[in-house]
Amino acid sequence: MTTAARKIRLVMELRRSGINDTHVLSAIERIPREAFVPEAFQDQAYENRALPIGFGQTLSQPGVVAAMTQALKTDRRLKVLEIGTGSGYQGAILSRLCRRLYTIERYRDLGREAEARFYDLRLHNITTRIGDGYKGWPEQAPFSRIIVTAAALEVPGTLVDQLSPGGILIVPIGQTGREQALLRLTRDEYGQIHEERLGGVRFVPMVAGLPATAEASQAPRRARA
C-alpha cells in the first residue's frame, strides 16, 4: 500500500471515530506524519498507534491528536500554547489551524529536532522554547487556547491563569500507567472556569523542571523564514 493510500485509510478511520471537523481532517491530510516518525517505525507512520521518539516520550496516536485538536476549537485568528512539543507532530497540525503557535519542550534534543522539522515543512508561524511546561509562557500570555500533551496529576493553575476570557485548555489528568481523564476547561467572560471530561487517554507524565542538560538553553526560537 502506498503512503497516500495509508493516509486516506487513516483519515477515513478518524471520520468513523467521530472526527468531523473538516479543518482538522484537512490539516492531518496535509501534514506528513512520516516526517515525525523515527526511521525504525516508518512502516507504521499512518497506523493509529503511538510510537516512541526517545527520552521516554511518544508520538501520540493520530486518533488522540485529532480528538484533542477538535476539542480545542481553534481557528486562524487565535494564539495557541502547546506544552510538550515532542516530535512536533501535534504542533504542526495546530500550526495549520491557528494564527501563531508557541510550543514548549523540556528535552533540548527533541525541541531542536522538532524545530528543524517545522523549518523543513515551512511552518513559520511556530515559536519554540526549551522550558518547564508547568510555568507556561507568561511573556506571551494570555492565550486563546492551551493544549497539554502530557498527563499532570492535577490541573496546572499557572496554565489556567494564562488563559484568556473565552479561552480553552485541554489537559490529561491522572497517574502514569492508568487511564487518565482528558479534560477541557473553558474560562467564561466572568473569569469562571467550566470543566468537561472528554474521555480516557494514556499519556506520559508531565514533569516539572528541566533535565540538567537543558537548563542553559531556554531562549525562544521562531521557525526560520
Query: What is the share, in percent, of the chain residues with pLDDT greater than 70?
Result: 94
> What is the residue-averaged pLDDT of the chain?
93
pLDDT at 42 over 70: yes
Instruction: Tell me the backbone φ, ψ of residue 121, rounded to 5 degrees.
Output: -90, 5
User: Structurally, how many domains does the chain consist of?
Assistant: 1
Which pLDDT tens digit goes with each residue over 109-122? 999 999 999 999 99
Q: For the chain, how long is the longest CA-to-CA vector? A: 53
Compute the half-sphere exposure of residue 116: CA atoms within 13 Å on the CB side of its CA: 9
Given this model, what pLDDT does residue 219 score?
Answer: 56
Q: Which residues pair with 150 in a beta bridge?
A: none
Sequence-ordered list of residues with C-beta below 8 angstroms from that of 193, at least 6 positions apart, any chain: 160, 185, 186, 187
Which pLDDT tens digit goes with each residue over 69-108? 999 999 999 999 999 999 999 999 999 999 999 999 999 9
Catalytic hit among 60, 87, 95, 144? 60
Q: Vertex 15, ends 10 and 20: CA angle to 5°?
A: 135
State the residue range of the domain holding 81. Answer: 3-222
Query: For residues 201 and 183, is the Cβ–Cβ distance under 8 A?
Result: no
pLDDT at 134 over 60: yes
- pLDDT grade, residue 157 (50/70/90)? very high
Q: Judge whether 26 counts as a catalytic residue.
A: no
Cell digits of residue 142: 494570555
90: nearest Cα among 34, 41, 28, 145? 28
The C-alpha cell 476549537 sits at 73
CATH code, domain with 133: 3.40.50.150
